Structure 1
Amino acid sequence: MATIKDVAKEAGVSIATASRVINNSPNTSQAALDAVQQAMTKLGYRPNANARALVNKTTNAIGVLVNDASAPFFGTMIKAIDTIASEQEKQLLIGSGYHDPDKERNAINLLINSRCDSLVIHSKGLADQELVAFAKEIPGLVIINRVVPDIANRCVALDNYRGSYMATEHLIRSGHRHIGYLCSSHNIDDAHDRKRGYLDALATHGIEYRDEYIEYGEPDEMGGEQCMVNLLAKNTPITAVAAYNDYMAAGCLALLQENGYQIPDDLSVIGFDDGHIARFIYPRLTTVRYPIQVMANEAVKLSIKLANEADHKPDEHKLFMPILVRRASVARPK
């Protein structure tokens, strides 16, 4: 394998000159540039990415931290970031934190050690103070789906409370008074905010909260199915169910249909996120749209701008608004 010494010898220049060409340094003559590039092609020389990063103090990579890269929601987020990264001729380095503080911390440190100067971080496990410390170290760090007060102008978030309130209110305005709620069992702000939106919508409309109407489970299809099993077992008089997300709603729908329920004639169901699954289950799911693609675009553009412009001072945090998407899984109760 050819080395930089071989390239310099073939090009008839010093190793220092060859290094300047390879690392795109200024003040290099066109003759030296041509000679080194021809030598690299002839010898099949490939610059060492880590060595170049040490010289340039950065890489052409954007670091991304998500909860679970295999989850469709985060796949959509990653795809949106990658689209912008490709336009900037950058590559993605991706870490998964699984809402665990140790895993999130290790992943962020790995991205920083890989010399990513732009970072888009989806963190639910780390304390605000630790994220602030990381942000002080990396000017291009942006938080998505969370507001950290001390660095609020580097946060891009959704009003989860408003989205859940909106979903519950839609069921109420459709005539429902007995509304179950499938809540995520994860101890994160999203789960707390969405449950609070459900409870406040009931209170606003004078509907008494009933603890037996709420079930907790993993925020996936299996969790939604098990929550619905528990609600049915309690023989509650619910006529509608609001779910933490579309995947819990899909599991709920499948369980109800397997037990002879007609949706929405016998029971209405509303989800949250408006992921791909919402449009391809039957009946098509009424839900609340989480504009993760737009949010991810905003986050990565801000991250790149902060990394490139040290004096850039963004405005207050970007708070995106959810949108109700009416489809076929909600109707008036009989």
Structure 2
Amino acid sequence: MSTIKDVAKEAGVSIATVSRVINKSPNASEQSIKAVTEAMKKLSYRPNAAAKALVSQNSATIGVLVADVSDPFFGTLTQAVDRVARAAGKHTLIGNGYHAPREEQESIDLLINNRCDALIIHSKALSDETLISYAEEVKSLVLINRHIEALAGRCISLDNFRGAYLATEFLIKHGHTKIALISSNHDIEDAHERKKGFEAALRDNNISPCERMVELGDPSSDGGEEAMTQLLTRSVEFTAVVAYNDYMAAGAMSVAQENGINVPDDVSIVGFDDGLIARYVYPKLTTIRYPIKMMAEQATQLALQLSKGLSDVPEIMQFTPTLVRRDSVAPVRKK
């Protein structure tokens, strides 16, 4: 297979000249265009993205870092980014970070080395200082689902505190005072803020938070099953559960039903995210809507603006979650 070096040698020009011809640069002479075109035809050479980027420094790609693209939440995020990118004539490169420092850093480095025009970064494992350093290097880098004050104009985030507060308050309004929390065991801002929101709602309603009512697990359906099992094994009395996300809520519901505990008559459960699973579990899950599609679209639009040297800050930088009422919450049973 022929390379750009082969074309340059055949045409008797430099690699940079070949790149100028490929990118249709006005600085390419007619003689160079003719020589390079003939050489490309003779060698059956097809320009690739790297060759096109040599001169223009524009790869027509947007880089996205997520935790795991197989997770429906991040699938929604990347799809939203891709739609905005395609509307702007660009394609999307995706890196998985798995909430691990090394994987996140390697993925960001790879996206930068691929000359992405803009970066949408969902990072939970890297420090503020590391991300600030990347942002100084890449002026079109935007953080999603994270807020760093030094990068406030380039962060699109959600009020996780408010979301957990709403979920807990909703249960309290239904008469529940013995409320458990099933949360993520990942040491990330989302989990910390949601726990704070949960505890604040309890305190504001004269209910004392109790660590025995809190159980951590992997933020998955398996983690929800394990956390609910631990709560039941511990024999703590609770009539309602706030879950870190819909998958943990679904796992908790499964364990409850397997143990003869009816949802919502015996135990009410509220999830978080409003993913597809919330509509298809039984009973349908009351949850907190996480507007990740809107957030991803706005983050991409902002990143594209920054890539063009524009710096208008969007009106909404922090999105507000909302409660979605379905069938997994009922008034507390009076004994």
Q: Decide: shared fold, TM above 0.5.
A: yes
Matched, 1:329 2:316: no
Q: Which residue of 1 aligns with 2:206?
A: 206
> Residue 141 of structure 2 aligns with which residue?
141
**Matched residue, 2:162:** 162
Once residues 328 and 306 of structure 1 are traced to their aligned partners in structure 2, the CA distance between those partners, rounded to angstroms, is 43
- 1:116-140 deviations in whole A, cap 9, x for unaligned? 1200001111111111111111010
Find the residue that maps to 1:93 and give its secondary structure. strand
Amino acid at match of 1:202: L
Tell me which residue corresponds to 1:222.
222
Residues 4 and 95 of structure 1: CA distance in aligned 2, closer, same or farther (over 3 Å): closer
Identify which range, 46-55 or 215-224, moves more after superposition: 46-55
Larger mean Cα displacement after TM superposition, 115-124 or 18-27: 18-27
Query: Structure 1 residue 12: deviation in Å?
Result: 12
Contact 2:166 2:323 in 1 (8 A): yes
Q: Secondary structure at the match of 1:51?
A: helix
Deviations 1:70-120 (A, max 9, x none): 211111111111111111221211111122222211111111111112000
Q: In the alignment, is the contact (CA less than 8 A) between 1:152 and 1:317 conserved in 2?
A: no
Task: Classify 1:13/1:58 alpha carbon distance in 2 versus 1 (closer, same or farther; 3 Å).
Answer: closer
Would the alpha carbon gap of residues 282 and 2 (structure 1) be closer, same or farther in structure 2, given more than 3 Å must change? same
In structure 1, distance between residues paired with 2:14 and 2:140? 36
1:90 aligns with 2:90: yes
Listed as ranges, the gaps of 5+ residues in structure 1 are none
What are the within-5 Å matches in structure 2 for residues 254-269 of structure 1? 254-269=254-269
Distance 1:124 1:290 in 2: 17
Residue type at the aligned position of 1:320: F
Offset at 1:29? 7.6
Amino acid at match of 2:327: A
C-alpha contact 2:4 2:51 (8 A) present in aligned 1: no
| Contact 1:153–1:316 under 8 Å retained in 2 | no
Specify the code of the residue in structure 2 equivalent to 1:327.
R
Q: What residue is the counterpart of 2:250 in the other structure?
A: 250
- Verify the 8 A CA contact 2:221 2:250 in the aligned structure 1: yes
Given that 1:154 and 1:317 are in contact with CA atoms closer than 8 Å, whether structure 2 keeps it comes out as: no
Is the 2:16–2:54 contact (alpha carbons within 8 Å) kept by the matching residues of 1? no
Identity between Structure 1 and Structure 2 (%): 53
SS at match of 1:62: strand
Q: Distance in 1 between matches of 2:12 and 2:96?
A: 47
Write out per-residue CA displacement over residues 251-290 of structure 1, whole angstroms, 9 at most, x where no aligned residue.
Answer: 0011111122221111100000101110111111000000
* Count of aligned pairs: 333
Do the aligned partners of 2:67 and 2:123 also contact (CA within 8 Å) in 1? yes
Q: Distance in 2 between matches of 1:142 and 1:15?
A: 33
In the alignment, residue 223 of structure 1 is paired with which amino acid? G
Report the more deviating stretch, 7-16 or 269-278: 7-16
For structure 2, the 5+ residue unaligned runs are none
Give the match for residue 277 of structure 1: 277
Q: TM-score, length-normalised on structure 1?
A: 0.91
Q: Does the 8 Å CA contact 2:63/2:116 hold for their aligned counterparts?
A: yes
Q: What secondary structure, in the 3-state scheme, does the structure 1 residue paired with 2:328 have? A: coil
How far, CA to CA, are the matches of 2:83 and 2:35 in structure 1?
A: 35
CA distance in 2, matches of 1:281, 1:38: 62
Within 2, Cα distance between the matches of 1:205 and 1:261? 26
Q: Distance in 2 between matches of 1:144 and 1:15?
A: 38
Q: 1:192 to 1:2 in 2, by over 3 A?
A: closer
Q: Deviation of residue 18 (structure 1)?
A: 5.5
- 1:50-73 deviation line (CA, Å, top 9, x unaligned): 232222223111111111122111
Larger deviation, residues 12-21 vs 212-221: 12-21
Q: Evaluate the alpha carbon distance shift between residue 164 and residue 34 of structure 1 in structure 2; reply closer, same or farther with a 3 A threshold.
A: farther
Secondary structure in 1 matching 2:241: strand
Q: CA RMSD in A?
A: 2.6
What is the DSSP-based 3-state SS (H/G/I as helix, E as strand, rest coil) of the residue aligned with 2:261?
coil
Please tell me whether the aligned partners of residues 153 and 317 of structure 1 are also in contact (alpha carbons under 8 angstroms). no
- What are the Cα deviations for residues 15-55 of structure 1, in whole angstroms up to 9, with x where unaligned? 88764331121255899879976985786431132232222
Where do 1:51-66 residues align within 5 Å? 51-66=51-66
Matches within 5 A, 1:311-326: 311-314=310-313, 318-326=317-325
1:72 aligned residue: 72
Match of 1:129 in 2: 129
Instruction: Answer whether contact 2:19 2:51 (CA < 8 A) is retained.
Output: no
**Which stretch shifts more, 48-57 or 196-205?**
48-57
Contact 2:182 2:242 in 1 (8 A): yes
Which digits, 9 at most, give the CA deviation of each residue in 1:175-200, with x for residues without a partner? 10111110111111100000010001
Cα pair distance change 1:62/1:236, threshold 3 Å: same
8 A contact 1:118–1:303 mirrored in 2: yes
SS in 2 for 1:279: helix
